[in-house]
Structure 1
């Protein structure tokens, strides 16, 4: 017996020994149980934890990493022998068995894969950005030897453990009759096939060095691994590094690296890939006992940025987020908090966004100017080589479970901005193109910033007139902050001194909490802390909601008519999310009055700066949800009703007649009426039939 053959036999026997005899910490024969479970579930793959194999037989585990192709075949044969000893018919029915290896000790970055890894078993982490359709791959070809006296049919390659790799090579000699003459015809219907699929796995955004493009690698899945994940999923892949020619001809000396997957693990939980050790947990719990923990976390965001405490607090609450809920009927209530900053140039909006990206455990940073609808959500792309269509994930899908940051939000094209509506509320991305219908997860918090329409924010105009954003997108943000560059001698002096200190002695501006520890603190809170509303917090939020709406209702009754709506159920849900996040900051299991009060304070700040009707000096949420205040909508309604009355007996009414009629009967300022006419005309409620002559639509 040759040394090579004896080595192969020993590897198979050693693996059988491992499967039969390995016990876990409780004394159970772990893999005997798994084999029985595999057979009960009618499967042909057995999952192996690499640390178990390494502890049991280090030589065997190291040989698996160095020479995976041969040893995995031996392992599969060894498993088949064990199954056959218990149920021969089951082993014969399945034919081939697979060993799926999980949990290698070293994870190699995608950008660090080199030629030296070829033929080795490695582990990589990344995000699936492309997914090709499933195809069938021939692993054993059936040929017929068309020669007089033979006509035999046989599998090719003829050896039991050899399979077709890159392309089908016709046999030159018939293994049945042993002769070379005659024609060898491929019989497709009798050949053996397996499912085959190709993915593209890209580096995680947080792993990409600053200023560099993310790298990706092709990954091939076979058999029961196909369709195990989808674009946007974060995966850990264990596989064998292979080489394939990139040139058109077989003479090309260039080869590209790809990974033939042995196992694929999808990160089901948010931020599962970042591990928290026992030492980390002790530091986190100790930190949470600090009575000033909230202030320290807030001050650790944008350390070099002067002021903007409310904005930093809002970012901190966004990092921790509320608690997502799933009702019994499948209805999902989001826990993610969406923020929008609108303000003058030079007030550090972009700096704040960059600070949030550095602190967040998972963040994708994009700019509205350079983002399209497809780049933000997902798209269907045609492969130039094969002509197939495949899915490619965008920024919101890649940010699933983290923070999607969009700077220059106002510079986005309207048709591109519309694409994120579903992602913000339903937290999914629906795609239906080129015959591909898919729904991808986009459970991300959106942090956006933009400039006012006229360059500087005009406090004499309502919020919708200061921005180019439609009400459909504004209403989906939980908090909107107007950031103004106000001139005040004392404040300007402090600001100048702060900036000069940063430039002259920037080393002393260190965050209160180390960024890496803060990231793990956020992950711990999101993973393990699920605070519940106390009755006191419920009563406080309920009282605020009812009182605010009640005061507007009583004012409307005194005026003898309708009234602006100051707050809706959507803002009520936002208050609950903010209160939950505030409690999670200090790792509390209960949401107290203190948490509810802070959530209400931020909401009032938002409503009074953004939802304030300048004319009546009252809060009107309609300014955000519809783009117009209650008084503006009332004048617009009067315009349409008056125009209907004036055009009962004529084709159209002149602009001057329409304006005079409303000004004289309703005592409304002329410029307000003209502005309302322009709005209803823009919205298509009235039509200009000829110059300055209108009729209802």
Structure 2
């Protein structure tokens, strides 16, 4: 009798259904009632609500009965949770007793006899439950006029409120479920029918329907919120509604993916914002790809053959390891089973390692990384390390396993729902109308060049020429694209060579952290493994070879500041030639062949091998950078520790220490970053005839075209440098044309650079060979004189004595010091050798 009474609400519904549906829904509800874990039961309940409702679409009068039945079971599950939490052994009595107080909604004193009538249980069953609930502090009892009364304690009332809130939530879910179906169906039919037709006609090349989340607000302002909080349910609901649409194909035989895009601002996050509470929600992230595996097949539905009876069965694969059938459905044995790959279903699978973009991490040193899983058509996007992408993804929490032990700490990865490549055009830097107005106002200021220079490392005194060069580098020039597909770089490369403690590293740090809209700071000594360029590395999890991008690739479209440039590895040094000129990096390792884009400006700094620079020694003899690599820099500056600047530097340091806030840029960093991004996105100057004539005259004059035999002071690479700097100067003024004034500014800064790096102390003239080849034209002439003297003496006497070499060199205009230096240099270059003490021969 009591069991019939307990289930009377369910039977009201069941009696009006067909026998098949009646049995199906009864089994589902009984399964929920008998669950021992309340949270799992609630989840099962929610997952089956929609199916139960579909079975009752034609029985509208019974909806209230369904609600009553489900609500009662929800209450029972939560009450059972309370019972277990307080270790109440009696089950039936305690559930009936707590349910009685819920149903009667009272917090006042109630006669015990009345409570027993509420429960409809005998005293021998309800009395132990009352005693136990009083003992654990959920009920309190009092006696008035020889009669006993009960009431729920504050603790029980709080528990009951949680149950009531959960009941209300599920009821609202039931009420809104049909409404959501209607809204999604309306969205698809009103906005996406044409796209669905294109998908069907182009299947399987096209498989995905992209849904604009912001556009969902036009249908219902709460619909987009529901999608972002319940993405799995939303994807499932869109799929069901698509299946209901009459399309010119068997819709059940094709799989159309629902991909979300254009999420609201509240759902646009950084990787460091993904926490445990973010699990199974929808987010949008702009990230940089650091690693990418090859695309491989992943098993999603496995077909197994029982080796005992030959029966074939399928098992859906949702875990990382293959899951076999527990029992054979035919012979009911536990295998063994054979995986049938031909009958199984696979999907393309790729794993990325992504990291936060550095321009969004001002003041934060290390960007966070996270793994992203791509499947099916998302793997066809051609994502490579170094790409900037926008991903719509769902965070997933998975258990960590260590030596077959289950850990309490879980991992988080992103399951990609949609993915889009971002162009390297600073589009992620938002510039408002007010920003644009302020930028145009700055460009009209006649002192804008000085203002920008003074904003670069304002805490470091002096270095006007260096800061001017960096200013042009930040704005750079647009690349020149040829009709035949070749490309001439527009990025400007700068090398700072200087004594220790002259502020080079501070300048690099200031530029990357505060000014350059897109940048990365690294060192030649600190780059290991992947280094500065790119390489193939073994994946930590799978042991497979994967591509990983280095600093120059990650800074693609921006600036890479490299300190201790001369200390980089030989492998990186070899790749730098291609990276700086062709602006690409080609990798051929471990069977992987790839080319990475590397449209990056390089701002490098290094110290001399012997501590301080010697103006009279060749550049290549003082730094460990090969001359061909040095020649790829447009501007080279010497940063010297000048004793004449001591007073000014001292005052600057002391003033900064006394009042740090007084040291600030002339143009706020935020405004300067937007200024640079705006020009690089919108300004593409054209070289005018007047500016071209000015540059031509300068180049021919420096080449010494009218003076045969003179030292070469400039090469076509410096000519391109002048053009780039002229274009950068025009960009600063937001000019569409390169004027004569722009050309003059470029010529002035290049002349300073050439005199710094290429001045021949013997002649007082600029000689490009001094820093490109490490030896000037005059030195080369003197070397030939010494070699000729040694050869002549060798023919006469068999070897050349040092005293005789010095005497012969004196006749050619060389003093003893010069001769000694040249002999030492020739010995190092293995062009002569010391056959006997102080007697030399030429190497044949």
Q: Same fold (TM over 0.5)?
A: yes
What TM-score do you get using the length of structure 2 for normalisation?
0.73
Matched, 1:614 2:777: no
Shift of residue 218 of structure 1?
0.9
> What SS class does the counterpart of residue 437 from structure 1 fall into?
strand
The correspondence for 1:675, drawn from 816, 821, 826, is: 821
Shift of residue 533 of structure 1?
0.9
Matched, 1:532 2:678: no
Q: How many residues align?
A: 667
The correspondence for 2:278, drawn from 92, 114, 117, is: 117
> What SS class does the counterpart of residue 618 from structure 1 fall into?
coil
Match of 1:486 in 2: 642
* Equivalent residues in 2 for 1:421-432, closer than 5 Å: 421-432=577-588
Match of 2:153 in 1: none
Match of 1:4 in 2: 50
Match of 2:458 in 1: 303
Shift of residue 301 of structure 1?
1.4
Match of 2:186 in 1: 17
> What SS class does the counterpart of residue 566 from structure 1 fall into?
coil
Match of 1:696 in 2: 843
Distance 2:646 2:806 in 1: 49
Match of 2:354 in 1: 201
Distance 2:480 2:678 in 1: 19
Matched, 1:472 2:472: no
Decide whether aligned partners of structure 1 residues 51 and 211 sit closer, same or farther in structure 2, where only a CA change above 3 A counts. closer
Contact kept, 8 Å, 2:790 with 2:800, in 1: the verdict is no
Distance 1:508 1:665 in 2: 62
> What SS class does the counterpart of residue 239 from structure 1 fall into?
strand
> What SS class does the counterpart of residue 498 from structure 1 fall into?
helix
Shift of residue 77 of structure 1?
4.3
Larger radius of gyration: 2
Match of 1:605 in 2: 752
Match of 2:196 in 1: 35
Distance 1:297 1:553 in 2: 37
Matched, 1:75 2:228: no
Shift of residue 340 of structure 1?
1.4
Distance 2:182 2:344 in 1: 31
Contact kept, 8 Å, 1:13 with 1:78, in 2: the verdict is no
Matched, 1:382 2:535: no
Distance 2:455 2:547 in 1: 39
Matched, 1:508 2:662: yes
Distance 2:271 2:828 in 1: 52
* Equivalent residues in 2 for 1:441-590, closer than 5 Å: 441-488=597-644, 492-549=646-703, 552-556=704-708, 562-590=709-737
Contact kept, 8 Å, 1:380 with 1:392, in 2: the verdict is yes
- CA-to-aligned-CA distance 1:1-53 (integer Å, 9 cap, x gap): 9742357776555334212213xxxxxxxx33433444454311122222122
Distance 1:279 1:533 in 2: 30
- CA-to-aligned-CA distance 1:90-110 (integer Å, 9 cap, x gap): x566x2111221222222221
Decide whether aligned partners of structure 1 residues 662 and 37 sit closer, same or farther in structure 2, where only a CA change above 3 A counts. farther
Distance 1:38 1:677 in 2: 77
Decide whether aligned partners of structure 1 residues 46 and 678 sit closer, same or farther in structure 2, where only a CA change above 3 A counts. farther
Matched, 1:137 2:327: no
Distance 1:407 1:304 in 2: 19
Shift of residue 348 of structure 1?
2.3
Distance 2:440 2:463 in 1: 28
* Equivalent residues in 2 for 1:179-218, closer than 5 Å: 184-208=337-361, 210=363, 212-218=365-371
Contact kept, 8 Å, 1:643 with 1:696, in 2: the verdict is no
- CA-to-aligned-CA distance 1:603-647 (integer Å, 9 cap, x gap): 111112221111111111111221110011223344556666676
Shift of residue 531 of structure 1?
0.8
Contact kept, 8 Å, 1:123 with 1:237, in 2: the verdict is yes
**Structure 1 unaligned blocks of 5 or more:** 23-30, 158-162, 557-561
Contact kept, 8 Å, 2:789 with 2:805, in 1: the verdict is no
- CA-to-aligned-CA distance 1:246-284 (integer Å, 9 cap, x gap): 214264333211111111122123322222223322222
Contact kept, 8 Å, 2:518 with 2:557, in 1: the verdict is yes
Distance 1:330 1:607 in 2: 32
Matched, 1:96 2:255: yes
Decide whether aligned partners of structure 1 residues 658 and 265 sit closer, same or farther in structure 2, where only a CA change above 3 A counts. farther
- Range with greater deviation from structure 2 (65-74 or 7-16): 7-16
Matched, 1:55 2:218: yes
Distance 2:418 2:215 in 1: 16
Contact kept, 8 Å, 1:347 with 1:485, in 2: the verdict is yes
Contact kept, 8 Å, 2:691 with 2:738, in 1: the verdict is yes
Distance 2:263 2:334 in 1: 50
The correspondence for 2:498, drawn from 333, 339, 343, is: 343
Shift of residue 154 of structure 1?
3.8
Matched, 1:243 2:397: yes
Shift of residue 220 of structure 1?
0.7
Contact kept, 8 Å, 1:138 with 1:164, in 2: the verdict is no
Matched, 1:630 2:799: no
Matched, 1:334 2:489: yes
Decide whether aligned partners of structure 1 residues 178 and 123 sit closer, same or farther in structure 2, where only a CA change above 3 A counts. farther
Distance 2:585 2:831 in 1: 32
Matched, 1:398 2:444: no
> What SS class does the counterpart of residue 314 from structure 1 fall into?
helix
Shift of residue 132 of structure 1?
1.7
Decide whether aligned partners of structure 1 residues 182 and 447 sit closer, same or farther in structure 2, where only a CA change above 3 A counts. closer
* Equivalent residues in 2 for 1:316-335, closer than 5 Å: 316-335=471-490
Shift of residue 370 of structure 1?
2.2
- Range with greater deviation from structure 2 (662-671 or 497-506): 662-671
- Range with greater deviation from structure 2 (655-664 or 337-346): 655-664
Distance 2:801 2:248 in 1: 90
Structure number with greater CO (CA < 8 Å, separation at least 6) is 1
**Structure 2 unaligned blocks of 5 or more:** 1-24, 26-47, 54-173
- Range with greater deviation from structure 2 (322-331 or 446-455): 446-455
* RMSD, aligned α-carbons: 2.9
Contact kept, 8 Å, 1:373 with 1:415, in 2: the verdict is no
> What SS class does the counterpart of residue 756 from structure 2 fall into?
helix
Distance 1:51 1:338 in 2: 43
Distance 2:198 2:799 in 1: 81
> What SS class does the counterpart of residue 156 from structure 1 fall into?
strand
Match of 1:25 in 2: none
What TM-score do you get using the length of structure 1 for normalisation?
0.88
- Range with greater deviation from structure 2 (665-674 or 520-529): 665-674
Contact kept, 8 Å, 2:685 with 2:727, in 1: the verdict is yes
Shift of residue 74 of structure 1?
3.1
Match of 2:35 in 1: none
Shift of residue 588 of structure 1?
1.0
Matched, 1:66 2:229: yes
Shift of residue 419 of structure 1?
3.7
Distance 2:641 2:412 in 1: 53
Shift of residue 342 of structure 1?
1.7
Distance 1:16 1:178 in 2: 45
Distance 2:211 2:835 in 1: 76
Matched, 1:369 2:369: no
- Range with greater deviation from structure 2 (526-535 or 498-507): 498-507
Distance 1:304 1:526 in 2: 27
Decide whether aligned partners of structure 1 residues 255 and 500 sit closer, same or farther in structure 2, where only a CA change above 3 A counts. closer
Contact kept, 8 Å, 1:238 with 1:261, in 2: the verdict is yes
Contact kept, 8 Å, 2:354 with 2:369, in 1: the verdict is yes
